[in-house]
């Protein structure tokens, strides 16, 4: 097992992030106003907006020409025609969705150690299930609960997810190395008779090497290619301990208002005696597909996951999410899930889940 306890994973991530306090991040490229929203520092963000809105003159080297060049290769930077306005000819059109999230094009690069959102950040005070998993089990006998737990079928769920770029331009001007951390908690906040415990918290640190790509498939633009190492565990002792380690590939496509992410993965083998969940790949899957659509301020998401096996080893899950405006910057959030593996402790438990709450940060 590569990483057994969540505090080790958190320590590794914080070691990558903390140098930012002593290292001044590179200034963002001022040609794209949407890139400014990702900057956490108020001073740097204001400077970015000043550049993007024409309050200062931009260097001539940063101006985009309209001349068409040769068709770029798959990993070459692509120069696009950029519309201009009479008030400020330097204001570029907005970034594409994947570009805004992963800083793929040269114009969107923000440098290293800028802490940004990764997956959605949300709070759902109401998260209900059709079938609470009161007796989690695993083929490993030491990871099977023998006494049923007393669980409510309604709880709270929240997710925190951050990432930062630790190395920009790993191979010259190609490839950026990111580290990310995601934490998902299920809180039995209404279970007063059991002192309102946290039923499950999953910790997921990872490192991803991401590349900018340019090709087309069936009307979709192939915009990114990545490879990463991922650890996920719940940090609990036996019999409730669950964990696995994976090598994950990321292949990203987009078109107007849509993104499509394909993620096949390979589980890193563990010694069977130490494996909390030896059959996890047959339930949590060997890959997933995520489709996101932005429409009139709303964000719709569909996640499909499958074991990629047949017969008795065929298991999967589907998740639908919806983020929508409420008032001002406040957004609502709804989630529906059906299948196996809504959390690690429930990796081989099949149930339906429905939750509502608020979204603090969306995918895009």
- Positions marked active-site: 231, 233
Query: With contact defined as beta carbons under 8 Å apart, do 124 and 157 qualify?
Result: yes
- At 107 the three-state DSSP class reads helix
- State the DSSP H helix or E strand holding residue 253, giving kind and residue range, or none if neither: strand 243-255
What contacts 11, CB < 8 A, 6 or more positions away? none
Query: With contact defined as beta carbons under 8 Å apart, do 341 and 283 qualify?
Result: yes
Q: Three-state SS across 329-358?
A: CEEEEEEEEEEECCCCCCCCCEEEEEEEEE
Structure tokens at 217: 């498939």
- CA-to-CA distance for 78 and 71, rounded, in angstroms? 8
- CA-to-CA distance for 113 and 90, rounded, in angstroms? 27
Instruction: Identify the CA nearest to 180 among candidates 16, 59, 29.
Output: 16
Label the pairing between strands 298-306 and 287-295.
antiparallel
């Amino acid at each position: 097992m590569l990483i057994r306890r969540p505090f080790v994973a958190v320590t590794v991530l914080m070691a990558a992030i903390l140098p930012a306090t002593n290292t001044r991040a590179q200034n963002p490229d001022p040609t794209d106003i949407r890139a400014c929203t990702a900057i956490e520092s108020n001073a740097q963000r204001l400077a970015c907006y000043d550049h993007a809105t024409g309050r200062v003159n931009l260097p001539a080297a940063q101006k985009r020409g309209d001349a068409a060049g040769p068709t770029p290769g798959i990993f070459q930077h692509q120069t696009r025609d950029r519309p201009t306005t009479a008030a400020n000819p330097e204001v570029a059109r907005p970034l594409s969705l994947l570009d805004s999230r992963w800083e793929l094009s040269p114009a969107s690069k923000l440098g290293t150690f800028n802490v940004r959102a990764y997956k959605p950040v949300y709070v759902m005070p109401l998260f209900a299930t059709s079938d609470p998993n009161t007796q989690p089990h695993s083929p490993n006998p030491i990871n099977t609960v023998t006494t049923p737990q007393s669980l409510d079928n309604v709880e709270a769920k929240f997710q925190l997810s951050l990432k930062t770029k630790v190395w920009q331009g790993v191979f010259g001007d190609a490839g950026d190395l990111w580290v990310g951390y995601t934490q998902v908690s299920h809180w039995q906040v209404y279970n007063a008779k059991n002192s309102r415990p946290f039923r499950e918290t999953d910790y997921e640190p990872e490192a991803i090497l991401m590349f900018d790509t340019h090709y087309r498939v069936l009307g979709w633009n192939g915009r990114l290619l990545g490879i990463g190492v991922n650890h996920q565990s719940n940090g609990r002792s036996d019999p409730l301990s669950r964990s696995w380690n994976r090598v994950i590939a990321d292949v990203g496509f987009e078109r107007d208002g849509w993104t499509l992410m394909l993620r096949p993965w390979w589980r890193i083998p563990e010694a069977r005696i130490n494996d909390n969940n030896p059959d996890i790949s047959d339930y949590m899957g060997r890959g997933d597909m995520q489709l996101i659509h932005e429409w009139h301020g709303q964000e719709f998401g569909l996640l499909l996951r499958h074991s990629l096996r047949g017969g008795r080893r065929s298991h999967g899950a589907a998740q639908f999410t919806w983020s929508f405006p409420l008032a001002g910057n406040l957004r609502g959030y709804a989630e529906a899930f059906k299948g196996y593996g809504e959390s690690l402790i429930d990796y081989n438990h099949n149930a339906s889940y429905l939750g509502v709450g608020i979204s603090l940060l969306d995918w895009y």
